[in-house]
Every structure is written in structure tokens, then in C-alpha cells.
Structure 1
Amino acid sequence: IGKSVSGILSGKNLQSLLYNAAAEIQKVIRYDRVMVYKFDEEGHGRVVSEVKSDELEPFLDLYYPASDIPKQARELYKINLTRIIADVNVADSAIITFQNGNTPLDLSHSALRAVSPIHIQYLKNMGVASSFSISLMAKGELWGLVACHNYTPRFIDYKARDAAKLIGQILSSALEYRQEEEDTEMLHTLDLAAAELSRQIKSEENITNALTGQAITIQQLTQATGAVLVFNHTISRVGTTPDDEQLKEIIAWLQTNQQDTVYYTNHFPQVFLPAKKYSSIASGILACIISKEMGEWMIWFKPEKIASITWAGKPEKLVEQQENGLIQLSPRKSFEAWTEIVQNTSEKWSIKEVSLVVKIREELMDTINRKANEIRSLNDRLRLAYDELDTFTYTISHDLRTPLSAVKSYSELLLTTNKSLDDNAKKILNRVVAGADKMNFLIKEILNYARVGRSDIEPVKIDMQLLLEDLKQEVITALKPPNLELTFGNLPDILGDKTMIEQVFTNLLNNAVKYSSKSNPSKVKVEGVINKNETIYSVADNG
């Protein structure tokens, strides 16, 4: 056994390990065929390694349906690690017990327990005379079997059976280690991607950029060929994915049908029929809800993997009518290779991929909640700033109005009481009163302007010819520019807030006159043009 174990463990990878195990077991029990048979998630089995006599046809890579070894039978294989049928043609022996006649004897742990008549018929249909099996366990579950066939009756003594059982136990331990060893590199890559994404989520202000705009994206979180982030009313894609219209119909389906936080399948087109149109890129889907109310998702896609599965005979249960008229299940009689083409199916999503998606979602939700709290804090500070602005503008306007009222009052008093004023002096005082009125109006507008952020501006039609003529008189009176040529071109009316527009053009004209005053003559021109749905004004000077 020590020599056998040494030979088995000399394999450099999982496949050579399995082949060496089959070869060593054949040496111990001397059966015609020894196969290593692995179960998949659905209970179907595949021959992954085989050692046989030269004259036998190979069974390597053939699939056997789950119905060949039903679930209850697989549970018994976990209890009895070896099982022998020395001769399929020997009749079963009855057992006499001291128990109540109605109580069946539990033979679960007995090596001598007979097997199902259907299984005996199954072996006979294959031409097998003797059968021996060794259970292969990994992480407490039935990983597979070492299935041994002999085409003539052959008994294996206890010593050889026990040796084969020990080899099976050692192989089970090695299987677990080798499988994890081969998965380690892939898992390490996924873990690194998850760690980097976590860092990006925490450090980036823009979540979309953190998940889709860096060297490491959500695509690297799994072995998907494409990923989509639906966030903040925007669809961001990385890798190979369905187009935007196809994504919208997928999201609509998820909105209606996804109940849990994470949904995944490796045959999406069979669940959502329209997906058959793009099964080549989206046969597998893994969807994670960020916010169902906001219609926000992370979605990963795996492409179609058209598989050609060769079954050992057509995988179907047959029924036969017995002589007494009763219907009974019957194992298939033909084991000729039968090929099935499996479409609309992708590689399966691993538990690791799903767990990393859940982990990143938790990180993302923490970040979104933190940002939401920051926004709430900013809103509170903004509300406080608005209140302070109201107080400030009210105080300033009040303080400005007091001296302004005095200027206006004394000017009006001079006009009405001083009879010695000439026309020029009266004109100047009238302008002082008009300026005071305008200043008072602007103070009121400052109060209104302070509230602009909280109310909509209602635009009105502005007569630009009239407005600019008034501004021209004010600028000339205020600045008294020498040699000024202020001309107007076409002046189309515009829509806007009159006070604000007046302030804009007052500033523009003041600057133009001021900076062109050193030229002789000083030239300023204002004109407007209508271009489709917009009006463009220009103020040009030679300063």
C-alpha cells in the first residue's frame, strides 16, 4: 500500500493523480476496468480517468445521468466507503432476524447488503459480471467513485478490499488538497481585484468611475467577459455586454422577477427567452441589486459555451410492463455513445464569485450611505447659509437706505426751496434724485437676488433699444468721456430678468468706455444678432 500511495501522489496535477490512483487500484484488485467517476452539481457523473484491459472500448469522458446512481444510493456510498458485487448472477439470500416481522432490518452499514434489482439488471445490460466501488469524499461530500468492472465473476478478499479502501481515503485527502491548490491562483486574482475595488470605492468621489473607470473594474471581480453598472440614471459597460436596448429589457425583467439581492444562472436564455438573441455573450448572468427603487444594478455576463456531451447511452428512464400487468422501471439496454449538444449555457458561477459580489455590494452600500449623510450635512449647512444671507442682505439694505434717503430728501428740499438755482443746477439735482431712486430700486433687487436660488426667475420681454439708450446717458453723465463714439447696431429684443440684464450691460459699457478712453476717438459699439434659437449680443471697443 505504501508503494501504491507513493505512486499515486507522484502525479504533478489533479489529472495525473487520478490516473495513478486508478492504475494502483487495478494492481491491487486486478479488475478488467477501473474508472474514476466524478459527480457534478446536478448529480450527473463523468468518467474523468480510466485504466482498462486493451481489448475493452474506452469509457473515458462519457457522462452518466444522475438517475443511474439516485440520491439515496449516493447517501449510502457516504456511509459504506467500499461496495462489492462479486457475481451479478448469484441470487440474494434471505435474512432471518429476531426482530418483529414487520420491522425491516437496517443493513446500511453491512458490506453484505444486496443491491437494487434494477442496478443488477443495469450491470447485466452492460455485460459486467462483477462490480466494486470505492467512495471518494471531499469536504464531507461525495466527490465521486472509483468504479471497477470485471467481465467475469471475481471476488475480492477482505485484505485487498481494505487496501483499496485505504487508497481511496488517501486519494480523497489528496483530491481536496490538489483541487484547492489549482484553484488558489484564480481565487487569489479575484481577491486582489476585490481588494482594489474596495479601495477605489472608498477613495473615489465618483462611484461610477471607481467601479468602471479604473484599471481594475467590476468585471475583474468575477470570471465574466463583461459587466454593467446601472447607477445614477446612467448605464456604464465594461467588456463584452448586450447593447443598451437589450440591457433595458434585461433590467425590466430583473425589476419584475428578482426577489433576492443576488440572482445568478448559467442558462439565462432558458429563463428569459428574448436573451436567446444575444446568448453568445449573455448565456450566464449574475445580477446584484444596489437599489431596486432607483433601478440600480451591477450585472455580470458570461458567454455561451456550446458543449458537446457524450452520454453512455441515451439518458432516459424506461418503463416495462411485467407479465402480471404492473409497470416497472427498467435500466437502459444500450450504452452506445449518444451525443447531446447543450446550447444557451455558460460556465457556472462559482461560490467565490458570488461571495465577492456580495462583499463589494456591502462596501458600496456603506459608501453610498456615507455620501448620503454628507449630503444631508451639506444641506443643513446650506440652509444655515441661506438664513445668514437673508439676515446680511436685510441689514445691508437697511443701512444703505438710511443715508440714501437723506441724500434724496435734501436734494428734493433744495429743488423746492432754493429759488436761486439755475437750470443747470436743477438738472443736476434731478439727476441726483433719479440716481437715489435707482439706487433704492437696486437695493430692493439685491434682496430679491438673495432669494433667486430658492425661486425661479420669470423672464420678460426687454426692449433693448430703450434700455441701452438710457444706459448711454447714464454712462456719459457718470464718466464724462472725451471724444466718445458710442454707436448701436441692430438691437433685437430679448427675454430675461430686466434688472439683471441692465446690470450686465451697465458693467460691460462702463468697462468698454473706461478702457477705450485713451484712444482718440474712443469707439464703442453694441449690437445683437439672432442665430436660430438664440440671441447673441456683443460689446466691442478699441481700448
Structure 2
Amino acid sequence: MNFQVDLTNCDREPIHIPGKIQSHGFLVAVNASTYVISYISTNIEQYADVVPQHMLGKHITELEPYLELSADNAQLTQILNLAKNSKSDEIINPLTIHTKGKGYNVIIGRSKTELIMEFETTDSDLDLDVQKTIGRSVAEILSGKTLIVLLQKAAFEVKKIINYDRVMIYKFNDDGHGEVVAEVKNDDLEPFLGLHYPASDIPKQARELYKLNLTRIIADVNAESSPIITYQEADVPLDLTHSVLRAVSPIHIQYLKNMGVGSSFSISLIAHGELWGLIACHNYSPRFIDYKARDASKLIGQILSSALEYRQDEENNEQVAAINEAASTIADYIKKDIDIVFALTKNKTTIRDVTMAAGVALIFDGGITTLGNTPDDDQIKEIAGWLKVNMVDNIYYTHRFPEIFAAAKKYSNVASGILACVLSKELAEMIIWFKPEQITSINWAGNPEKPVEQTEDGLLQLSPRKSFEIWNQIVQNTSAKWKNDELATVLKVREDIIYAINRKANEIRLLNEKLQVAYDELDTFSYTISHDLRTPLSSIKNYSELLLATNKSLDESAKKMLERIIKGTDKMHMLIKEILHYSRVGRTDLEINPIDMSLLLNEIKREVLSAINSPNLEFIMGDTPPINGDVVMISQVFTNLISNAVKYSSKSQPAIVKIEGKVGSNEVTYSVSDNGVGIDVNYYNRVFELFKRMDNALDFEGTGVGLAIVKRIIEKHHARIWFESKLEVGTIFYVSFKN
């Protein structure tokens, strides 16, 4: 039959019904019930003096005289009876007969209603007993401790047994294309190790046949195939799915010719029920090895299949065990450490270790923490923004992210693959793992796009490639795929983290409730103490003032004593007031509004100048850009800073106080400077502490509470405060508010 192969139906080429067999043997098929010959290969006349067309429709016994079977051989009817009554053809294959004094292996197969007999010579150019050498070879193969060593040893042992010019282990990848992962060859041949072959080189239906027929020999690529003929009225092609002589696709024959191959032999490698790869053997001249040698080779393939399945599983299990152990360790960390970020990123084992990723980013609590190779923070924010909009489930993964999110092409080298899990969608908190782009060049054995040639009738026909120069394809915007085990581990880690977050949130809620009770008790205590202290202080002050005003007999020493008592009680009143104010700052809710700083600062200036008599003061007001804040609290900040500046510069001649604001890209920064006594460098770290006063400030009135209040207010606004100072030169306080 003539089947036209084009680019759209290459995978549907009916290679199981080619209508021909290879010419190194002949075929006879009979009806399984009647033993009447229904199909016969035309090349039988090369092995027996018979016209093949004359045998169609005849009983198999009529063929036997032409084959001149030896007297001690079973007759063909006996062979067919044995096959019919056997549960498996493998049990009886091959049966050896002698025709015209020459030995043949008879291989029995089945095709719907037919029993198929294929006759192959027992001659082989192998000068050793293959079956005897198998034990030693298998032992040597299985000594390989890793998968790659196992495969290399297998290639070496198979070449030693069948002596082909080149033996390769050919592995199929997920997309169907193949890669040579191990190779042993004659020294004069160029290496194929590491080359990749497009999936179309061994199309889908061919791979299915490799799962059914574990060995396949092409004895001579240049030999003409022999047609199979049948009844004219029943011109249905014979199904040769299980045939050992089945002819080869013309495309594949030309393919081998282009490579210079004279003969090929393959052994299927099956793992978990699927075609893992092939032991592909090439000879550069015609080569035939008999059925028994091929069957022994099949045994090696089956043993290797089991071994590589075990080794592959073992290596996979080691990876899975490693990421599971990392997940368990992470779970322990987050149980013990109240700081989630520290637990996930700062220990020996980190969240990067729970996958095979090259890098990871943790977006949590308003910050980004990265480990390994990742995009920069701005790019991570960009990815997180896209994920927040596009993630439907709690986990998202792809190995072709730049093809989905075009902006990621800028950093595809580190983020072609992403795996993300959401911790809080509302807060855009998540973990993102990154796999890099596989810029690993794939060395194709020729251009993977098969050329199309036009036939005489104008049809486009697929033809084999004619060039086997390395064609380099760069796999862009693609990473290694995420494995199911990685996804499962990430889901487990996510559950552990969310549980820890919720547990800590509950703990914080309980602490807040306790803190609120403590605050309430502190308020009660503060008011009680305030009241209880103020009453006796007021009495002391009042009696002192009364004595001072009415008792004329007091001498100067007694008067000074009473004045000191009155001054001390005033100071105590002020201290109690400021302590109460300090305790309330942290619990007062902010009312953030735009503040007209020009209006506020001029009002503070008037109040300070009226309270502090400083006739030699020069007060400079610069730019006063607006800020956002709680106007009452901000007023307290600048009142305190300006009062301090005026107070501590009062002894300078003249005293200079300057206030000005500057607008930056992200902040508005105000400075309050003076030319006063300055701050000793030894006290720099104590300036904002409660009740801390400098030695050179003891001559000035103060409680040591004002700057502590300023610091608390600034922190509550998420702003910044710092200072510069030099003794006897002056001090500048800076306060920066975010725009």
C-alpha cells in the first residue's frame, strides 16, 4: 500500500502494517483455525523452490515438501498446534528446524485471526556463547552505584557482547525528544554523547511498538524489503505489531543511510510501565545477530530497566528526603522562634532548601528577604503584584514564566521558573521560589525541523534530514520543571507557616488584652499617685508661702529655705505632669492630617519667647513646608525642641536659633539648630533616655523627660530623629517625616 507521509500525519504513519518484511528471513501466516495459508512473503522462493502466489489458500502441509524439513524436525502443523496450545509465545520461541540442511529459527506470532511463522537463519557472526556471558555482564552492570555509571557500564557490556561499532543509551525526555546519555564506540567514530534528537526521529507510534517489542534489528539498511501477498479478494494488510521481521519505515531507512549506518539493533528500556529509553546499537556495515542472541540482549535490557528504575527512584527519593527533612526543620524553627523571618531565612536550613530552586524571596511584614539567585527587590515587587492579581489558588507554578508575564523577560536568567505560595493575599505576603533559565544549550543532531520535499505529484512529503552537523538550539525563557514533590513540600511548609502565624497572632492578641488591663491599671495608678502626691505637695507649698508672707521674724536663712521648698514643689508638680504625659503618648491614637507648619511654628515661637526672657536672642525662620501628622503631638515635638534650643543657647552672645524645612524625594526634613552649650560626645547614646541630663545642662532648668517624649512621638509617626552637636559650638536636631 502507498501511504503518503506529510508533516501533519507523521505520527500516524502505519508502521505496524508496512506490507513488507526485511529480507534476511521469510514469513508465512495461516488462519489460526484452518491452517490455510493467508499471507506469504514473496522472498520465500529464495529459500524454497516454490512460487509464493501458488501457496495462498493452500493448507500448510502443502508447503512442507518444498521446505525439505529434516526427518527429526517437527512438522509445521505440529509447531502451529504447539503455538495454539501455549499461553505465551515467548515460552516456545524460537523453535529450530532444518530445511535443505540449513538451520532456521521459527518465531511464532499472532495477528488477529492469523498465526504468523517467521523464519530466520540460526547463523550469527558472534563467536561467543552470549547466554554464558550474560551473568558476568549483568553483575558488572549492576555494580554501578549511580544512575549515570550504571548506564555507562551497560553500554560497555552490551558492546562487548554483540560487538556493534557504537552502543548508546538513549533517554526520552518529557516532550518526547531524546538524548544520548551514555556511549561506547570504536575509536574512529565521532562521539554522539550529549546530542539531542527531536521527538519526530522516533514518533509516537514507533515508541509504542518499542514498548511491545523489546528488541528490534535492522540487519541491512540497503537490502530491499520483501512484499507480503495475500488473497486478492481479502487485500487487508497483515498486522505485524509483534513481528521480528517487520519492514522499516522508508523514512527511517533513509535516516540511517544519511548517518552512514549499515545495520542497527535496539533494546527497549522500560521504567514504571513507560518507555524510558533505548540501548541503540549502530554498525556501519550490514550485521545480523540471531534470535537467541537478541533474546539474551533483551534479558540485559529487562534487568537494566529494573535497575535504572530502582536507581532513578533511589536518587529521586534522596532528593525528596532532603526537601522533606528541610521542611521538618523549618517547622521546628518556626515553633521555637517568634520571629518568622529569622526562622525561615537566617538558620542553616532555610526555605530555599524545601525545593530545588536556585533562589527564594520572602515577602512578609512589609519587607522582602531574599536568598540565593533572585531578581532584585523592585522586580520581586513587580512579580508579587502580578501574582496578587492573577493567582487563583494558594499556590502557583510555571517553568515558562517570561512567556506568561512579558516583563519577566528582563530577568529570565534567574526567574524563568517560579513557584509561589500565598501567606496572606490581602497583605500581598507570599514566598516565591525561582529557577533559572535553561540557557544550557541543547546540541541537536541536525536541525530538529525536518525539511519538506515536494514529490513529482506535487505533494509535500516528509523526508529525513540530510545533515547531522550539530544544530544549537537555545532554550529561552524556560526553566527545569517543578516536580510534584516540590509542590507537596511547599504546601506543607505553607500550612506550617500559617499555623505559626495564627498561633503567634493569638498569643499577641492575648498579650494585648493583658497589656490593655495593665494600661488601665497604670492609668488608675498614675491618677492615684498624681492625686496623692499633688495634695501633700500643694499643702507643703501653701504652708511655705504662708510662712514666708506672714512670719516677719524669719531671718534670711529661713526665708531662703522656704523659697527652695516652694521651688522644689513646683519642680515636682512639673515632673509628675510630664511623667503622666510620657506614659500616655504610646497609647494615644493618632489623628493624621496635613499641618500648616508656618502657622504652627510661629505660634510656638510666640509661646516660647513669652515664657523665656532672652533679650539677646536672634530667631531665624526658614522654609516651612507642610507635613502630615497629629497636630497636637507635632506641636509638642517642636515646642520641646525649640524651647531647648532657646534655653541652652541663652548664655551665648548673641543667641541664635534657626528653624527650617527641606523637601526631599521621599521625606520632609526639619532642622532646629542653636549655638548653645552643645552635647558631650560621651552622652550621645543617652540623649533620648528618660531622666538623663548632661553635666553641662545642670545649670538649666529641666526634668530629663522632654526629649524622651519627643522620641516616642516621632516613632509613633514612623518618622526619624537624630542630631549633630559639638561642645560650646551648638546642636542641630533633625526630624524627617515621610511624604
TM-score by length of 1: 0.69
User: 3-state DSSP class of the match of 1:307?
Assistant: coil
Distance 1:397 1:186 in 2: 67
Distance 2:187 2:523 in 1: 98
Identify the residue that residue 48 of structure 1 maps to in structure 2. Answer: 181
Structure 1 residue 26: deviation in Å?
A: 3.1
Identify the residue that residue 245 of structure 1 maps to in structure 2. Answer: 378
- The answer to whether the 8 A contact 1:489-1:526 is kept is no
Distance 1:344 1:257 in 2: 19
Distance 1:456 1:255 in 2: 30
Residue 142 of structure 1 is aligned with which of 260, 264, 275? 275
Identify the residue that residue 457 of structure 2 maps to in structure 1. Answer: 324
- The answer to whether the 8 A contact 2:412-2:477 is kept is yes
Identify the residue that residue 428 of structure 2 maps to in structure 1. Answer: 295
Residue 210 of structure 2 is aligned with which of 64, 71, 77? 77
Identify the residue that residue 225 of structure 2 maps to in structure 1. Answer: 90
- The answer to whether the 8 A contact 1:80-1:109 is kept is yes
Structure 1 residue 372: deviation in Å?
A: 3.0
Taking a change above 3 Å as real, the CA distance of residues 360 and 61 of structure 1, as seen in their structure-2 partners, is: same
Distance 1:399 1:94 in 2: 121
Identify the residue that residue 298 of structure 2 maps to in structure 1. Answer: 165
Taking a change above 3 Å as real, the CA distance of residues 217 and 13 of structure 1, as seen in their structure-2 partners, is: closer
Structure 1 residue 246: deviation in Å?
A: 2.3
Structure 1 residue 345: deviation in Å?
A: 4.9
What amino acid is aligned across from residue 226 of structure 2 in structure 1?
A
Identify the residue that residue 235 of structure 1 maps to in structure 2. Answer: 368
Distance 2:160 2:359 in 1: 49
Distance 1:51 1:456 in 2: 78
Distance 1:322 1:73 in 2: 24
Which whole-Å deviations, capped at 9, do the CAs of 1:376-409 have from their partners, x for residues lacking one? 4445556667788899999999999xx99xx9xx
- The answer to whether the 8 A contact 1:219-1:238 is kept is yes
Taking a change above 3 Å as real, the CA distance of residues 123 and 387 of structure 1, as seen in their structure-2 partners, is: same
Distance 1:71 1:152 in 2: 28
What amino acid is aligned across from residue 540 of structure 1 in structure 2?
L
**Which structure: larger Rg?**
2
Identify the residue that residue 431 of structure 1 maps to in structure 2. Answer: none
In the TM superposition, what are the counterparts of 1:182-197 in structure 2 within 5 Å?
182=315, 189-197=322-330
Identify the residue that residue 3 of structure 2 maps to in structure 1. Answer: none
- The answer to whether the 8 A contact 2:617-2:657 is kept is no
Distance 1:542 1:454 in 2: 30
Identify the residue that residue 540 of structure 1 maps to in structure 2. Answer: 698
1:221 and 2:379 matched: no
Structure 1 residue 168: deviation in Å?
A: 0.4
Taking a change above 3 Å as real, the CA distance of residues 450 and 75 of structure 1, as seen in their structure-2 partners, is: same
What amino acid is aligned across from residue 384 of structure 2 in structure 1?
I
Structure 1 residue 5: deviation in Å?
A: 0.9
Residue 443 of structure 2 is aligned with which of 310, 314, 333? 310
Identify the residue that residue 193 of structure 2 maps to in structure 1. Answer: 60
In the TM superposition, what are the counterparts of 1:402-441 in structure 2 within 5 Å?
none
- The answer to whether the 8 A contact 2:225-2:247 is kept is no
What amino acid is aligned across from residue 288 of structure 1 in structure 2?
C
What amino acid is aligned across from residue 90 of structure 1 in structure 2?
S
Structure 1 residue 304: deviation in Å?
A: 4.6
What amino acid is aligned across from residue 472 of structure 2 in structure 1?
T
Identify the residue that residue 8 of structure 1 maps to in structure 2. Answer: 141
5+ long unaligned stretches in structure 1: 408-422, 426-434, 470-486, 505-524
- The answer to whether the 8 A contact 2:618-2:657 is kept is no
User: 3-state DSSP class of the match of 1:46?
Assistant: strand
What amino acid is aligned across from residue 370 of structure 1 in structure 2?
R
User: 3-state DSSP class of the match of 2:209?
Assistant: helix
Which whole-Å deviations, capped at 9, do the CAs of 1:170-225 have from their partners, x for residues lacking one? 11122133334555665555444333222111211111111122333223334444
Alignment size in residue pairs:
482
Distance 2:273 2:172 in 1: 14
Distance 1:240 1:13 in 2: 29
- The answer to whether the 8 A contact 1:457-1:497 is kept is no
- The answer to whether the 8 A contact 1:488-1:526 is kept is no
Structure 1 residue 315: deviation in Å?
A: 0.7
Residue 131 of structure 1 is aligned with which of 246, 250, 264? 264
Instruction: State the percentage of identical aligned residues.
Output: 56
Distance 2:148 2:498 in 1: 43
Residue 488 of structure 2 is aligned with which of 352, 355, 377? 355
Taking a change above 3 Å as real, the CA distance of residues 267 and 529 of structure 1, as seen in their structure-2 partners, is: farther
- The answer to whether the 8 A contact 1:319-1:329 is kept is yes
5+ long unaligned stretches in structure 2: 1-133, 540-548, 552-568, 593-599, 620-630, 641-649, 660-670, 677-693, 702-739
Identify the residue that residue 341 of structure 2 maps to in structure 1. Answer: 208
Identify the residue that residue 24 of structure 1 maps to in structure 2. Answer: 157
Identify the residue that residue 419 of structure 1 maps to in structure 2. Answer: none
Structure 1 residue 366: deviation in Å?
A: 1.5
In the TM superposition, what are the counterparts of 1:461-480 in structure 2 within 5 Å?
463=607
- The answer to whether the 8 A contact 2:215-2:268 is kept is yes
What amino acid is aligned across from residue 344 of structure 2 in structure 1?
L
Structure 1 residue 169: deviation in Å?
A: 1.0
Which whole-Å deviations, capped at 9, do the CAs of 1:306-358 have from their partners, x for residues lacking one? 32332211111333333333333222232233233445555554544443333
User: 3-state DSSP class of the match of 1:93?
Assistant: strand
- The answer to whether the 8 A contact 2:423-2:498 is kept is yes
Distance 2:510 2:418 in 1: 38
Structure 1 residue 134: deviation in Å?
A: 1.4
Distance 1:266 1:349 in 2: 7
Which whole-Å deviations, capped at 9, do the CAs of 1:55-78 have from their partners, x for residues lacking one? 443322221011212234323323
- The answer to whether the 8 A contact 2:171-2:180 is kept is yes
Structure 1 residue 373: deviation in Å?
A: 3.1
Taking a change above 3 Å as real, the CA distance of residues 120 and 452 of structure 1, as seen in their structure-2 partners, is: closer
Output the aligned Cα RMSD.
5.1
